Structure 1
Amino acid sequence: MMAAGYDPVKYKISSIQNWNTVAPGYHSDWASKERGPFRSTAELIKAADIRSDDYVLDVACGTGAVSMHAARLLGPSGTLVGIDFSRGALGIAKSSVPTGHFAEMDAENIGFDVKFDRIVCQYALMFFPDPVRVLSQLWALLKKDDGKLAVAVHGMPEGVPYFSTVMEPVLRHIPDIRPEGAPTVHRFGNKADLQKVIASAGFSKISIEEFVFECEAGTFEEYWSDYMSTTANSIRATIEGRGLGVVSAIKAEAEEKARKFMKGGRIRFPWQVLIATAIRAQD
């Protein structure tokens, strides 16, 4: 049963609208530069162990960061398919990976009747309203013999201060900004929670590896501007609608929290990432 105030359909619609807006900046400033957490893309691909003749599915492919790496490993008999619910992100993915096949599709309602050798998913599992439904569909789409899933998620708040440095003050000043029960970026940042949700969909031989990357976020003003225009884009109007006093208080608290990550006047955040692999258990 969904918590009061949280509507998964409205959440998806809002997410699609947000991603259509931020996709170009997200791609140019983060994904294409393999900045911060996107240094995990190469690690995710390594964990997936993609072979030249594999059929590969990139779930919630976004602007094609993972798809691009996967496509480089495929030969003439290999196939890359990417799905995402954001038309704006898919347009960039298609341009970035011309050899791939991309479709606008909701990961909770995948419409394929083919089997894949490898399925990859970077920074999306925690945002699905029903992650078990998604994972169960991915389990069914994997080949039985040696089909493999590889998933990357962000770590806990203390491990990803890029998010928490601003979001913790936001939640203190505007506690109702996030509907109760809504997905959060740190939802599977704990290894035990990530293991549990993957196992619940029928996967076996689950392995989880932790990585910590560094993210250069610039001066505090640069970090604040970047955060508000990308990560907080969907809630920015709500934050600013509470008035200059609230915004100033949030900003001041965030700046104080950011100081411990300052080196030479610039912020260098650690960024914890978990990468899980699993196989399809036999029926």
Structure 2
Amino acid sequence: MKTFCGLSYDPVKFKQTFRDNWNTVAPTYHAGWASAGRGPFRSTKELVKAANIRRDDYVLDLACGTGAVAKEASQFVGPSGLLVGIDFARGPLAIARSENPACNFAEMDAEHIGLRARFDVVLCQYALMFFPEPEKVLVALRALLKRGGRLAVAVHGPAEGVPYFSTIMEPVLKRIPDIRPAGTPNVHRFGRKEDLENVISAAGFSEVAVRNFIFDYQAGSFAQYWSDYMSTTAASIRSKIEARGAQVVEEIRMESEERSRKYADNGSITFPWQVLVATAANR
């Protein structure tokens, strides 16, 4: 395995796998999560609100996915403003375009942004933690922002704050600790306030502020939760889990079910979901 910047994972392969998986799960993700504003996507309104968008602002939605943030932001951008969304996967972009015909969308890698426009606001929901070089992305965003421009970023909280992920993933890692190469970006990468503040400040932003939100997510029965998680969240590693054999899969399932009971009431699971929303200025 090659080493990149001291890491034992291959960032090029990681991004390709991430893109392929994103293209596959985008319709389910959009219908069941983003467009419905369920669980963590209740942060969409909070993210856009925190950005304080004005009618004549030029707004960039970075790693826009299926366009949930762009749709919310479009309510605040007037005819003299501009709203652009970029993502590196065609599947979610197709959904974004179909639901937001008045917005501008482009297929573009956030680590290689090819835009000349200068923006008043940059929005980024649930993507910063997955960039192999997040500092590089944030520095590039500063160059795209006008003086006094505003950044608003949403990320998932730490493992203990988002049991939807950890309830299954911790039993997986216990049995298959090498399921992902060491150093692979993960969903909790900036889940702690100080880590999120530090990476944004290191890129040169000022007035960094982080707000903490606790939403809830109704996952249904354990069977529904297990099926949803394995077919969407764990889609990229599911084959590796199943390759360990039926006994290992059953052990993971049984431990996950036991862990989920603390969040269940009358057979229905409701998870708390911690989200951090950071804002910063380009002074």
Kindly provide the amino acid, as one letter, of the partner of residue 262 in structure 1.
A
Q: How many residues get paired?
A: 280
Runs of 4+ in 1 over 6 A off after TM superposition: none
Taking only aligned residues, the RMSD between alpha carbons, in angstroms, comes to 0.8
Match of 2:162 in 1: 160
Q: Secondary structure at the match of 2:252?
A: helix
- Measure how far apart 1:91 and its partner are: 0.3
Identity of aligned residues (%): 62
Shift of 1:72: 1.4
Q: Is the Cα–Cα contact under 8 Å of residues 48 and 150 in structure 1 kept in the other structure?
A: yes
TM-score when scaled to structure 1? 0.98
Choose the corresponding residue for 1:113, options 116, 119, 123.
Answer: 116
Q: Is the partner of 2:48 in helix, strand or coil?
A: helix
Give 1:196's aligned amino acid. Answer: N
- Partner of residue 184, structure 2: 182
Equivalence map 1:93-172=2 (5 Å): 93-144=96-147, 146-172=148-174
Question: Cα offset for 1:198?
Answer: 0.2
Q: Secondary structure at the match of 2:46?
A: helix
Q: Residues of 1 paired with 2:112 and 2:20: CA distance?
A: 19
Find the counterpart in structure 2 of residue 234 from structure 1.
Answer: 236
SS of equivalent residue, structure 1 residue 278: strand
Unaligned runs of 5+ in 2: none
Aligned residue for 1:147, secondary structure, equals strand
Shift of 1:97: 0.8
Measure the CA separation in 1 of the matches of 2:146 and 2:225: 43
Q: Counterpart amino acid of 1:180?
A: A
Aligned to 2:81: 78
Q: Name the structure 2 match of 1:218.
A: 220
Structure 2 equivalent of residue 52 of structure 1:
55
Show the counterpart of 1:260.
262
SS at match of 1:198: helix
Q: Tell me how far 1:165 sits from its aligned partner.
A: 0.3
Distance 1:272 1:155, change over 3 A: same
Among 192, 195, 198, which residue is 2:194 paired with? 192
Q: Distance in 2 between matches of 1:88 and 1:255?
A: 32
Distance 2:6 2:259 in 1: 31
After superposition, residues 19-34 of structure 1 pair within 5 angstroms as: 19-34=22-37
Q: CA deviation at 1:3?
A: 4.4
Does the Cα contact within 8 Å between 1:3 and 1:180 map onto a contact in 2? no
Measured after TM superposition, the shift of residue 2 of structure 1 is 3.4
Name the residue aligned to 1:39. Answer: 42
Structure 1 residues 7 and 29 mapped into 2: Cα distance closer, same or farther (>3 Å)?
Answer: same
